[in-house]
Structures are given as C-alpha cells and as structure tokens.
C-alpha cells in the first residue's frame, strides 16, 4: 500500500517501538550510551527520560537526523532585534538570523559601504535608527502563492519596510516615508506583489508636524495606508511609483490584501473610532478604556486599483515626498468604504478563496466572517447606511456578514489549511481554535503555553495552504524552560494539524526580541545561490568596478585618498601589510577569491570598528578616515582553515609630523 510521506502518516509509538524492539534492533540492543545509562532499549530510554508514548510520537515527527533537511522554512520576525529568524520545520532548528534594520556583526552588516547604505535608507528626519520593532514578514507572491523570491518586513516603531532578496538571504533595501509616525499593518503584499502595504498604527499629523491632540486631534491627526510599488525586475521598491490613501485618525490595525475574487481590494481594521488620544492626567480616561467605548469600529475597505487610477489621473497631492489620495477624494471616488466591525478587533484575514474576510474580535468572543460579495454588491449599488464624520460611506453590518463563529476569549489572528479549516489564536484563553470556515463551527482547541499572539500554518495565508504544520507564537513562557532571570524567551510551539485533533509536537524558545509574526514556505520554492560570481557586489548583483583580481592587489594613492585593493583566500590576505598616513581617507576594496561553498572569510581591523564578512566570490568596500596613528592588527574572523590564525596582517598608520 502506498504510504504517504511525512507526518500525514499516523504514527503509533507502540507500533514503532514493537518494530524497533522486536525487529530491526534486537530486543536489548544498545540504542545509546551515556546520560541515560549504558545499555538502553527504547522502553528503557522512555523510562529513564520519563517519556510517554505521546512524547515519543511527537519526537518521531520532529527529530531530523544529521544531514537531513527540513520540509519548510519559517521566516519569523526578530522583534526588537530588528532581524528575521529563519527556522527549519519540523526540526525547529534555527538556520539564520537575517540582519535587517540593525547592525549585525556576524554578517558584517552595517560595517561596509554596501550595508551602511542600506541602513541609511531607513533614516528618518536625518536620524540614524539602531533598533526596530519588526512585525510582519511577507513573502513575495505570484498569483496569490508564495514564489520564494523576496521577503518584506515592517518596522512598527519607525514606519519602515525592508526588502530581503531570497537569492542570498540579504537585505537589499530599506524605505521609509516621513508621512506617517509608525505602522502595524505592514508588510502585506498584493497577490502578484505589485504593492507592499504599510498602514499606520498611531496617527500623527502628516510629517509629524507639531499639533496638540487636546485641540486638534480630529482635524490634524491622520492615518494612511501606503502602497509601496515593488519593481520585481530590479528587486527593489520604487518610492516614486508608490502612493498613500489618507485615513481618519481611527488607529488602523492589521491589514490583508484581497485575492482571487477580492483581488484589487485591501482590508484594514481600526480600533479607535472614539478618537481618543490619551490625557489620563488631563481629565480623560486612560487610552485603553477610551478606545473601547463604542460597540463598533470600522473595517476599512480600500479599492487599490481605483486608487492607482486616481494617482495616474493626477488626483493625488504630494506630502512629505509621498503621493497621497486625500480623504475627501478617497471617500467621493469610491476608494475608501467602511463596514462596522465588533469593537477594537485585531486580525483581519482573507480566506484562501478570497471570498470571506475573517475579523477577530479581541474584546468579543466571536470571529466575524464578512462576505466580500455582499460588501461589493452594496458598494456597486451605492447602498450606504450612513457616513462617518469625515464623509466616508458606511455599509450595513448585517448586510455585509456571512456569519459569526463563537470562538472563545480574545480571538486575534487566523490562518488556514488545505481542508477548509481556519485556525484562530485566542490570547486570553491561550489556545488555538480550529474551526470550519463553511460551517462556522469550532472543531478542536489546543492549549498553548502561554498567551498566544500570532500563529502561522504552512503557506497558511496563501490561496493554496498546505495544512501539515502550525506554529503558535506565544508571548509568555513561564514554566516551559529552565529559569534565566526575569526576562524570559518567547515560546514557539509546533503542532501537527494533519488530523482532526491538533497535536502539540515541540517547544522552541526564541531568545531574541519579540518575534511577532512568521510565514512558512515549502523549501522547494527557494533557490538560493551557493556563492557569488567572482567580484560581485551583493547590493547590485553585478561585478564591482573595484573588484580585485588575483595578482592585481595593490595600494594606490589618489586625490580622494588611499585605495587598497586586497584579496582574501585560504589562508592569507594580499597585501598583508597596508601603510597609510594619519588623516588619509582609506577606500578598502576587498574580494574573497574563493568559489568553494561555505569558504567565508572575515576581515577585521583592531580599534577601527571594522568587521565584515566576505562570502565566496563577494566584493566589499569599506571607507574610513585613518585618524588614529599606530599599529593595528588585521585578521580573518572566520575559522576558515587550519591556518586561520595565520590569516592576518598589519594596518600601519604613520603619524603626522
């Protein structure tokens, strides 16, 4: 009989034990030696390590022997670390931290000219930012499915979007708009990655210009959704071709793009139609109660194709360098429509068929399932129930929904599988609720440990979810790991979702920032390179004009300073002595001549804060002023060979007389 591969096969621990104990291994074979005893059968091992049959079953579904690869990669936000964490599934092995918004020494990110320029793209108002609150990673899509080419991620704190090229897993671009004061609904892609969506969280007056909320909140503070145009051939965002749609200051929250039948639309939650702005020492209620007074907030429905046409027709105004469709225009031209939604919702997630939009109540025990067809019919017929104070048309709640599902306490985010089921995280109840999208009925609940925020299923927000695996991204870990002081890691919990009942498989601590959201992609969609072509500048993808060839290494004095053309190959730098004069501007060009996979060299100069990583074939540039005279060792920081310690030299700065 054909046995499906992978975890869909129902594993019986007893069956496997019987096979192991009575079959291939003789009944008292030595499975291991060491910590649990010198001679142990599987049953002895289980006893010694206090493992149940369910534990062994879970272990067999995640254990990945040496040399074996994972079936999926998960790209998780690295939270305040400003990075992206790459995790193999089902092994839950961390494979990489991708440096994004913050300098990262291992990758030499933020030390050479190339990556300094990327980080400089994220300056706001001329200020360097050395942290981020990375939130939602978004894989590039083609026809609503991940294509494995690019990854985008938003920085909530500073309203920035980064572009990571998955050919080498490196950050290539950071963009920001000085229009808005932060984002939360970011990054989300439209189904063909025409646009990357970034939505305001906390409203500010556009450009962060001074205004007192006590007097001017309603009139001057604003939200916006920015549609960053992505140029796939260049692999970069094109700010010139991007635009924004102005929103009222309702504190927009999460976002999702329509797909298939709802393609061309995007959906945004909001949590503050009350227009409160704080002031708990100025006679106002605290923010959290001010935000929750109204029974309903507004789901924002944006027709982005229509918005694109308006921009082309010149109906946008340029504010702080961004083309903005003003609120009055958006309302009058059918770009922006509101649908009432249960108060202070959190997640908004479009179903794989694009027909429904699931909004989680957060303060409500329901998930509300809006029907795109019903929303569209009302918009087309201009059948509006009322207008909001800013003149935006409002549809009828009851004419817009397909139904509600009673989920439990604190519903947040929803993912989907390949069998028509949805999985919603319930923060307060600290469970994952599995429910039928068709029947709006809960099928199963799986406890999480503890306080789940986001969750991610395999390709679970595409038009073809895979099912199989789900990761609960839990905010609290409490009693799950050894104690490490008052600041605890987060807890990622892997679950098998192939059966009716979800099965918890594995706990993985994440001790880096607060990983917010993740996406999980089948590995066969990813085609990363092994090495760069000789002389390649990873930022341009082309051979650098300063690429250094073997036997052409040299030091040249020119009007703009001293140019060092250096090569690195096991196990020496050429030249290994570099002489300059105090005060010289130094332009250091360095190439790793290796073409062997994994033959990375590092390059560091003592006291000058110079530390880069040069992958095989890579060209890198470093520019600095040799302001401190003296003798400074330089050396390779990667253990590249048996003679790695000998891969060294001196940077000599002759004092000014």
Residues at the site binding ligand CUA, with contacts judged by CB under 6 A? 571, 601, 636, 638-640, 644, 647
Q: Round to whole Å and give the CA distance between 420 and 441.
A: 12
d(C-alpha 441, C-alpha 471), whole Å: 22
* Residue pair 248/206 in contact by the 8 Å Cβ criterion: no
Taking the complex as a whole, the smallest distance from the CB of residue 568 to ligand CUA amounts, in Å, to 6
Closer residue to ligand CUA, CB minimum distance, 339 or 636: 636
Q: Half-sphere exposure of residue 489, counting CA atoms within 13 Å on the CB side?
A: 16
- Which C-beta is closer to ligand CUA: that of 431 or that of 636? 636
Compute the least distance from the CB of residue 597 to ligand CUA, in Å.
15
Q: CA torsion sign, 103 to 109 to 111 to 112?
A: negative
Q: Is 312 exposed, middle or buried (0-12, 13-18, 19+ CB in 10 A)?
A: exposed
Shortest reach from residue 599's CB to ligand CUA, in Å: 8
- Tokens representing 333? 């031209």
- For residue 274, which phi and psi values (nearest 5 degrees)? -70, -20
- Judged by CB, which is closer to ligand CUA: 83, or 613? 613
Q: How far is the CB of 623 from ligand CUA (least distance, A)?
A: 22
CA-based end-to-end distance of the chain:
86
Q: Which is nearer to ligand CUA, 375 or 636 (CB)?
A: 636
CB of 571 to ligand CUA, least distance (A): 6
Nearest distance, CB of residue 554 and ligand CUA, angstroms: 21
Q: Which is nearer to ligand CUA, 331 or 636 (CB)?
A: 636
CB of 97 to ligand CUA, least distance (A): 21
Nearer to ligand CUA among residue 401 and residue 636 (C-beta): 636
CA 42 distance to own-chain centroid: 40
The minimum distance between CB 622 and ligand CUA, in angstroms, equals: 17
* C-alpha separations of 342 from 398, 477, 619 in Å: 12, 30, 54
CB 510 within 8 A of CB 490: yes
DSSP single-letter state for residue 208: G
Kindly tell me which of 316 and 569 has the beta carbon lying closer to ligand CUA.
569
Identify whether the C-beta of residue 71 lies closer than 8 Å to the C-beta of residue 525: no
Dihedral, 547, 553, 559, 560 alpha carbons, nearest 10:
50
Nearer to ligand CUA, 466 or 638 (CB): 638
Choose among 412, 138, 428, 415: nearest CA to 269.
412
Give me the sign of the Cα torsion angle 634, 638, 639, 642.
negative
């Amino acid at each position: 009989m054909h046995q499906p591969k992978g975890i869909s096969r129902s594993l019986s621990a007893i069956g496997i034990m019987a096979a192991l104990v009575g079959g291939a291994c003789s009944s008292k074979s030595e499975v291991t030696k060491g910590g649990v005893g010198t001679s142990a059968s599987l049953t002895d091992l289980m006893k010694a390590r206090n493992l149940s049959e369910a534990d062994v079953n879970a272990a067999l579904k995640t254990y990945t022997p040496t040399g074996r690869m994972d079936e999926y990669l998960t790209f998780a936000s690295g939270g305040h670390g400003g990075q992206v964490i790459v995790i193999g599934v089902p092994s839950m092995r961390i494979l990489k931290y991708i440096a994004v918004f913050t300098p990262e020494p291992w990758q030499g990110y933020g030390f050479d000219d190339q990556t300094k320029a990327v980080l400089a793209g994220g300056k706001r108002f001329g200020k360097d930012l050395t942290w981020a609150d990375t939130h939602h990673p978004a894989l590039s899509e083609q026809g609503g499915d991940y294509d494995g080419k690019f990854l985008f991620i938003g920085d909530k704190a500073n309203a920035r979007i980064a572009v990571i090229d998955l050919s080498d897993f490196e950050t290539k671009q950071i963009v920001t708009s000085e229009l808005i004061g932060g984002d939360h609904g970011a990054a989300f892609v439209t189904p063909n990655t025409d646009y990357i969506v970034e939505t305001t969280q906390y409203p500010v007056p556009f450009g962060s210009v001074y205004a007192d909320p006590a007097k001017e909140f309603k009139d001057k503070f604003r939200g916006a959704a920015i549609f960053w145009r992505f140029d796939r051939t260049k692999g970069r965002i094109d700010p010139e071709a991007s635009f924004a749609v102005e929103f009222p200051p309702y504190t927009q929250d999460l976002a999702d793009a329509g797909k298939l039948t709802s393609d061309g639309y995007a959906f945004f939650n909001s949590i503050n139609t009350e227009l409160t702005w704080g002031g708990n020492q100025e006679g106002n209620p605290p923010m959290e109660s001010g935000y929750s007074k109204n029974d309903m907030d507004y789901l924002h429905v944006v027709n982005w194709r229509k918005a694109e046409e308006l921009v082309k027709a010149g109906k946008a105004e340029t504010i702080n360098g961004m083309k903005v469709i003003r609120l009055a225009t958006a309302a009058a031209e059918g770009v922006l429509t509101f649908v009432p939604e249960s108060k202070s919702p959190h997640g908004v997630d479009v179903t794989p068929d694009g027909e429904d939009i699931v909004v989680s109540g957060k303060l409500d025990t329901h998930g509300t399932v809006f029907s795109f067809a019903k929303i569209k019919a009302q918009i087309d017929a201009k059948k509006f129930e009322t207008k909001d104070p800013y003149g935006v048309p409002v549809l009828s709640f009851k004419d817009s929904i397909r139904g509600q599902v009673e989920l439990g306490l604190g519903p947040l985010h929803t993912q989907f599988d390949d069998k028509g089921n949805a999985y919603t995280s319930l923060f307060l109840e600290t469970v994952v609720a599995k429910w039928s999208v068709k029947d709006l009925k809960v099928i199963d609940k799986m406890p999480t440990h503890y306080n789940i925020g986001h969750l991610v299923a395999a390709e679970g927000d595409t038009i073809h979810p895979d099912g199989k695996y789900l990761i609960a991204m839990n905010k609290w870990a409490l009693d799950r790991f050894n104690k490490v002081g008052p600041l605890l890691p987060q807890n990622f919990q892997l679950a098998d979702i192939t059966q009716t009942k979800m099965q918890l498989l594995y706990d993985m601590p994440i001790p880096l920032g607060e990983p917010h959201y993740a996406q999980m992609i089948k590995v066969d969609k990813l085609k990363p390179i092994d090495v760069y072509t000789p002389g390649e500048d990873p930022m341009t993808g082309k051979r650098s004009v300063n690429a250094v060839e073997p036997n052409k290494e040299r030091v040249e004095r020119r009007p703009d300073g001293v140019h060092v053309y250096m090569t690195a190959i096991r196990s020496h730098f050429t030249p290994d002595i570099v002489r300059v004069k105090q005060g010289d501007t130094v332009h250091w060009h360095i190439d790793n001549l290796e073409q062997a996979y994994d033959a990375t060299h590092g390059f560091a100069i003592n006291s000058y804060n110079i530390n880069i990583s040069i992958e095989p074939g890579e060209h890198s540039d470093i520019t600095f002023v040799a302001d401190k005279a003296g003798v400074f060792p330089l050396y390779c920081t990667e253990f590249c060979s048996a003679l790695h310690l000998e891969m060294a030299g001196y940077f000599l700065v002759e004092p000014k007389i």
